[in-house]
Structure 1
Amino acid sequence: MHRVHAMPFGAECLEKGVRFSLWAPSATSVTVCLDGAEQAMIHEADGWHHLVCPGIAAGALYRYRIDGETLIPDPASRFQPEDVDGPSMVVDPCAFAWSDAEWNGRPWEETVVYEAHVGTATPEGTFAALAAKLGHLRELGVTALELLPLADFPGDRSWGYDGVLHFAPDHAYGTPEDLKRLIDEAHRHEIMVFLDVVYNHFGPAGNYLANYAATFFTERHETLWGAGINFDGETSSVVRDFFVHNALYWLEEYHFDGLRFDAVHAIADDSRKHVIAELAERIRAGLAGRPVHLILENNANQARWLERDETGAPRLHTAQWNDDIHHAWHRLLTDETDGYYADYDDPIGHLGRCLAEGFAYQGEISAHDGVARGEPSGHLPPSAFIAFLQNHDQIGNRAFGERIGALAPPAKLALARAGFLLAPQIPMLFMGEEWEASAPFQYFVDFADDELSHAVREGRQREFAGFGAFGGSVDKPVPDPTSPQTLEQSRLDWSEAVRPPHAEILRETRDLLRLRQIAVLPLTKSRYLGARRQRPTPDTLDIGWNFEAGSMRFVAHFGDGETRLPIGAGEVSLWSSPGVEIGDEIRLPSWTGAMMVARR
């Protein structure tokens, strides 16, 4: 079986050659450079340049020359074997034979996400090496592998959020065929694969678009990374199509099962229809009948994007990373108050609201930045929210990249682990979290420009100067993000997983996910009927969720001493902390909890 996404951009393999297409409205002339020879492209209306070159086949290297001067890679390049400044390679998508013709994805409620950075998830840091870990993920209970961005970035080291060539999986991890094999193999293991895509900015090096397509960007919208992408001005229809085709390309040609849209709150768009809505609509229309899961990162907590139809299916986006859940758990576990953790001054109350209603902030003003944030979300099902105790941001944006296991006492962390893995929200683990990996996840880049590298190093050091809980210290410099060593010390050590105490934590995580599959899924797959939250004491939570097939209840005591709670009709214990006694009532010692279920 072969898969290809047809698009107006880039190089397309034809029966007797290759068609090259480039949108370059700022250019007077464009030539294609192939094997040392140049051929003029036909300049057509609306800034398009086309050329069909007979006798050219997959594997050919090419560049475009703009106005007789600047050589550029193809912005829709399918592969950059020599990095972002090198030539693009013609790729024939039909050359790869897929074996997953019977695969049609999985229902969203079955999702257990495992977020991974390809370059540090294994010692080798490749697609092929990650494919060898799929058996571990399946045995663990993971049903979805989410990859940090793959769009080609400068150098060999990056988180992926400074990508500049959106259609080319980065050469540092392998070839396009290697990525397809990873996805094909994941589907054989019944694991979905999601991709993190960045449509709010381009990286600071290797982006040539402004040289020949100036209106791709606009000064009307400023972002943290410079001029905004032109989603709402003149010629914006082509810009919007570029990103819509990019999303469809990954979903069709690579058979990804879903996308995670990075920082959509940073996408400025004054159009009548926001590009985030258009993306979802066109994806759902183009892939109708196939389960495709669309995930948001959105600090604005806009529930509007997560609405369901009368059948309970997502109208636009499937779910959102719920930072509020993370922040509440984190403050409870660590007592940190720096930065945005200052907003969670009642972490028990905020956690309770998250578990029962989705967002903690549903229009309230943030004490951290003074901005009102969020929309009412209590009408949405728990599956509209992804819960986690850590992710690449929450670890890597600390000065030293410490994981939660280095910051929280084991007993407290055990309660939080069970609380988020068994709750009806969609759980997400960060690579290595299943065994409480000791490796940090630190910020790293690989810019050839010395001035840019210096600016990154100095900026990172300034960012954390004076921070307390985040780990800044004048006596201990922040790891150099431009040093290869920073990536190396962020790699997982898989041998830990079989040694104590990591082996015990791995077993616990696996057991919790098995309980989730056996006892939680039958409830969450049925119709959601609502939730309730109570706070019997200032240090105690009592959260209940009702489904057509039954109910769930999470009770936890975060204070000193013990508290006692009544048992509901028909409730039985699914899980409880060591020391909890369940008889005629539930007796909860300090920092313990229980998950109860009742079936109809």
Structure 2
Amino acid sequence: MTGTGHPAEPPNAAPSDGAWPGRALSGGVLYQLQVRTFTPDGTLAAAADRLDHLVQLGVDLVELLPIETPHGLTAFVDACHARGLGVILHVGYEHLDPRSDHAQQAVLASVGRWLREHHLDGLRVQLSGALADPAATRLLAQLAAEVTVLSLQLGRPLSLIAGSEVDDGRLVVPAASATHDHGDPAGCGDFASLESLAAVLVRRFAADPLAHDAGAIGSAHDRITATLSPSLRRVGATLLLTGPAIPIVWMGEEWSSTARPAAPGHRPAPEPAMASAGRGVNAPTRAWWDAATGDAPADGDPAPLDWSELGAPPHRGMLELYRRLIALRRQEPQLTAACGKSTDVRQGDHFLTVRRGSCVVVANLGRTPRRVNVAGVPRRVLLATEPGVSLTHDAVDLPAECAAVVVGRRFDRH
């Protein structure tokens, strides 16, 4: 960062993606990527060399988690855009007091520069305090207006996600989709009941509902790999990628990576010139990221992804399921629709159904086979995580720990 809080790039790093039409977040799949552990090299250039994997996976946008320097960012964005991938950057302003006029102006200017000069498709802005605070609300309104105007000027869609230490995520732009993700202040972690699982499926954003919440992935990764069977992991992937929330795929989960990740909850480094702008009395005295090295504090020695796992049978099968599920989203647009009247989530004794228009996602989380009524006539199985799924007049017979996506006709519609 420069002394003005301006994202610095080498002189020859001008964007080369002038024809890029943009990529909207709504209806897409978001892939969270932490540069320093995505590859052994831990650089943006090395991450760019792995982008074809994301294209084959079928995701729509990459969310870059905290980066210690913007050098190479424009080249990375260009590489993503050349492959049809949008880019969202996570930036942190927790050290600023939103009640300060100077701080508000600094944030507004910084957000505009990130989007304009690096051709980003959106930002996840981390603010101080609760988003319901009147000062934060006013700042969000200003940010929404600025980003909306900039989107019109640039002629391409831009997305703005706001979060804080208390609130997990709110899609601010586009305004038509603005809803609040009412997360647990502690980050949710694993879900203790089918009721809470059903509730999280209708949020605006969702990570793997059986595995983790975006605020607690580091420790949750250990729990899922240690306690969840491979079949339940496949059920979680199905609920994630067919639900009404915008799916968030954490890097490596698409092949059940064994590498222990760093938590995406790590706070980004603040821009130096903004460090004194409107600093509140309760602001942290130390940046979460080490200003000299860009390293996060040790939290169990997070390791880079092991890309050699992709060819191993247990991992290859999971990767194929993720690809099929994302492809199914494109085949059945009703699976990408936001939560509305066509979405109905129901839970019972170790089972869950999620109606998505004429599609129903049926999940058996129990250890024994189960017949699940779908309040309609199932016609065809579009996808199943295990063999042995069969259809009756008004129900789906599922093996243990299995999910299926079926299409049919509802009894209340003709």
Scaled by the length of structure 1, the TM-score of the pair is: 0.55
Match of residue 511 from structure 1: 324
Match of residue 191 from structure 1: 85
Rg larger in structure: 1
Q: Percent identity?
A: 30
Match of residue 597 from structure 1: 407
Q: 1:582 aligns with which of 364, 370, 391?
A: 391
Q: 2:40 aligns with which of 123, 126, 133?
A: 123
Structure 2 CA distance, aligned partners of 1:286 and 1:273? 20
1:76 aligns with 2:5: yes
How many residues are aligned here?
376
Structure 2 CA distance, aligned partners of 1:319 and 1:230? 21
Which structure ranks higher in relative contact order (CA pairs < 8 Å, sequence separation ≥ 6)? 2
Q: Residue 320 of structure 1 contacts residue 386 of structure 1 at CA under 8 Å; is this kept in 2? A: no
Cα–Cα, structure 1 residues 92 and 508, in superposed 2: closer, same or farther, change >3 Å? closer
| 1:244, distance to aligned residue in structure 2 (A) | 1.0
Match of residue 113 from structure 1: 30
Q: Residue 161 of structure 2 contacts residue 172 of structure 2 at CA under 8 Å; is this kept in 1? A: no
Secondary structure of the residue aligned to 1:108 is coil
Structure 1 CA distance, aligned partners of 2:124 and 2:117? 17
Query: Can you list the C-alpha shifts for 1:34-90, whole angstroms capped at 9, x where unaligned?
Result: xxxxxxxxxxxxxxxxxxxxxxxxxxxxxxxxxxxxxxx7151544xxxxxxxxxxx
Q: 1:261 aligns with which of 111, 125, 134?
A: 125
Cα–Cα, structure 1 residues 199 and 321, in superposed 2: closer, same or farther, change >3 Å? farther
Superposed, which structure 2 residues align to 1:336-351 within 5 Å? 344=192, 347-351=193-197
> Structure 2: which amino acid aligns with 1:181?
A
Match of residue 279 from structure 1: 143
1:532 aligns with 2:344: yes
Query: Can you list the C-alpha shifts for 1:376-427, whole angstroms capped at 9, x where unaligned?
Result: xxxxxxxx333434466423256xx626333311111111111212223221
| 1:530, distance to aligned residue in structure 2 (A) | 3.9
Match of residue 280 from structure 2: none
Secondary structure of the residue aligned to 1:532 is strand
Q: Residue 115 of structure 1 contacts residue 391 of structure 1 at CA under 8 Å; is this kept in 2? A: no
Secondary structure of the residue aligned to 2:216 is helix
Query: Can you list the C-alpha shifts for 1:462-497, whole angstroms capped at 9, x where unaligned?
Result: xxxxxxxxxxxxxxxxxx9756x965x511111111
Secondary structure of the residue aligned to 1:405 is helix
Q: 1:102 aligns with which of 6, 9, 19?
A: 19
Q: 1:251 aligns with which of 115, 138, 146?
A: 115
Structure 1 CA distance, aligned partners of 2:134 and 2:396? 53
Cα–Cα, structure 1 residues 268 and 505, in superposed 2: closer, same or farther, change >3 Å? closer
Q: Residue 122 of structure 1 contacts residue 492 of structure 1 at CA under 8 Å; is this kept in 2? A: yes
Match of residue 272 from structure 2: none
Secondary structure of the residue aligned to 2:175 is coil
> Structure 2: which amino acid aligns with 1:596?
V
> Structure 2: which amino acid aligns with 1:194?
I
Q: Residue 29 of structure 2 contacts residue 60 of structure 2 at CA under 8 Å; is this kept in 1? A: yes
Secondary structure of the residue aligned to 2:396 is strand
1:231 aligns with 2:98: yes
Unmatched 5+ stretches in structure 1: 1-9, 11-72, 80-90, 153-167, 170-174, 202-228, 332-343, 359-383, 448-454, 457-479
Match of residue 279 from structure 2: none
| 1:500, distance to aligned residue in structure 2 (A) | 2.6
> Structure 1: which amino acid aligns with 2:382?
L
Secondary structure of the residue aligned to 2:32 is strand
Structure 2 CA distance, aligned partners of 1:530 and 1:430? 28
Q: Residue 322 of structure 1 contacts residue 385 of structure 1 at CA under 8 Å; is this kept in 2? A: no
Q: Residue 28 of structure 2 contacts residue 246 of structure 2 at CA under 8 Å; is this kept in 1? A: yes
Cα–Cα, structure 1 residues 556 and 264, in superposed 2: closer, same or farther, change >3 Å? farther
> Structure 2: which amino acid aligns with 1:582?
L
Secondary structure of the residue aligned to 2:113 is helix
Query: Can you list the C-alpha shifts for 1:435-475, whole angstroms capped at 9, x where unaligned?
Result: 11111024799x9xxxxxxx99xxxxxxxxxxxxxxxxxxx
Secondary structure of the residue aligned to 1:287 is helix
Q: Residue 112 of structure 2 contacts residue 147 of structure 2 at CA under 8 Å; is this kept in 1? A: yes
Match of residue 542 from structure 1: 353
Superposed, which structure 2 residues align to 1:79-94 within 5 Å? 79=8
Match of residue 248 from structure 2: 428
Match of residue 490 from structure 1: 303
RMSD between superposed Cα atoms in Å: 3.7
Structure 2 CA distance, aligned partners of 1:552 and 1:307? 29
Q: Residue 131 of structure 2 contacts residue 163 of structure 2 at CA under 8 Å; is this kept in 1? A: no
Structure 2 CA distance, aligned partners of 1:397 and 1:97? 39
> Structure 2: which amino acid aligns with 1:314?
A
Q: Residue 378 of structure 2 contacts residue 391 of structure 2 at CA under 8 Å; is this kept in 1? A: no
Unmatched 5+ stretches in structure 2: 270-284, 287-294
Q: Residue 441 of structure 1 contacts residue 490 of structure 1 at CA under 8 Å; is this kept in 2? A: yes
Structure 1 CA distance, aligned partners of 2:318 and 2:337? 28
